[in-house]
Amino acid sequence: MLKNFNLIKNTLNTFGIQNYKFVYIYSDFRYFFTIFKKNPIKFVDNFISYLLDLDLTIIVPTFTYTTKGIFDVSKTKTNLGFFNKYILKNKKSFRSEHPIFSFAAIGKNKNIVLNVPKNAFGQNSVHDRLFKNNACFLNIGRSLNEGNTLIHQIEKMNNCSYRFEKKFKTKVYKKKKYIGTNYSAFLRKNIHTKMCFNKIYKIIKKKKFFLNYGNDREFSNINLYSYDKFYCCLDKNFKKNKKIFLE
């Protein structure tokens, strides 16, 4: 059981997180907030400081799915969890300009999320920039079984048959400056096509590169896994079975 912050650091150090340049985080702190209930914000600040002290750049999704109207990089709030919102509110963080799939980053190499192309996935997207750039994923309190948006990058790069590129008229602004419009997302052709991560998760969790501590059913899990190895595993299995991400 992770009774104190040093145990969390020791777990991540043992997993080798200090050897990476970027860490993309999926989080759900409900379990950890019960342990650090006296001062949960201090826990989050310590967690961020620990990662930044390792010279890591933290990246979190800040998706808003703004398909019409205005998306303001500086003002539009994310629909995602507490940690994502906390990073986004940090004055030192940078945020990408995509109105549907935006990302926030903080740390030495945070400019990786700036000046993104108008397509959410594909060449030069944030996911493409992280590939072969010494990155890792960290799931803390959130099970990988709930999914990972990297599958859409795999689908896009393999030109999957059940998705298509759609442009949106959302107007993007940043600090009152107009950035542009016609940003696109890679959408399902049929809304009744249901996504499923369970099949690939059963494969991933058996891989040596998928490091695990805790129990995801209790939201106490800490999972660290190489971005590149995860990417290659998804790509390899998608090429074998084009329906592996579908129910």
158-167 pLDDT per residue, tens? 999 999 999 9
Question: For residue 211, what are the CA distances in angstroms to 17, 59, 208?
Answer: 11, 19, 7
Q: What is residue 26's DSSP assignment? A: E
Pairwise pLDDT comparison (41 vs 3), residue with the higher score: 41
pLDDT tens figures, 119-154: 999 999 999 999 999 999 999 999 999 999 999 999
Beta-strand ranges (E) seen in 80-227 are 94-95, 103-106, 135-140, 163-168, 171-174, 177-180, 183-188, 211-213, 222-226
The answer, yes or no, to whether residue 38 has pLDDT greater than 90, is: no
Q: Which residue has the tokens 């996504």?
A: 195
pLDDT at 192: 86
- The encoded tokens of residue 39 equal 């001062």
- The encoded tokens of residue 203 equal 């494969």
SS3 state at 101: coil
Question: How many other β-carbons are positioned within 10 Å of the β-carbon of residue 198?
Answer: 11
Question: For residue 36, what are the CA distances in angstroms to 31, 40, 114?
Answer: 9, 5, 34
SS3 state at 114: coil
Q: Which residues make Cβ contacts (< 8 Å) with residue 233, sequence separation at least 6?
A: 203, 204, 207, 209
| Stretch 8-24: mean pLDDT | 97
Q: Which residues make Cβ contacts (< 8 Å) with residue 140, sequence separation at least 6?
A: 25, 26, 27, 28, 29, 32, 221, 222, 223
User: Residues of the chain with pLDDT > 90: what percent?
Assistant: 91
pLDDT at 1: 54
pLDDT at 33: 92
pLDDT tens figures, 178-226: 999 999 999 999 988 899 999 999 999 999 999 999 998 999 999 999 9
* pLDDT grade for 2, boundaries at 50, 70 and 90: low
Helices (H) and strands (E) in the chain, counts: 8, 12
Single-letter residue type at 123: Q
The Cα–Cα gap between 28 and 16 comes to 21
pLDDT at 37: 85
| Stretch 92-108: mean pLDDT | 97
pLDDT at 191: 84
The answer, yes or no, to whether residue 114 has pLDDT greater than 80, is: yes
pLDDT at 44: 94
The answer, yes or no, to whether residue 104 has pLDDT greater than 70, is: yes
Q: What is residue 21's DSSP assignment? A: S
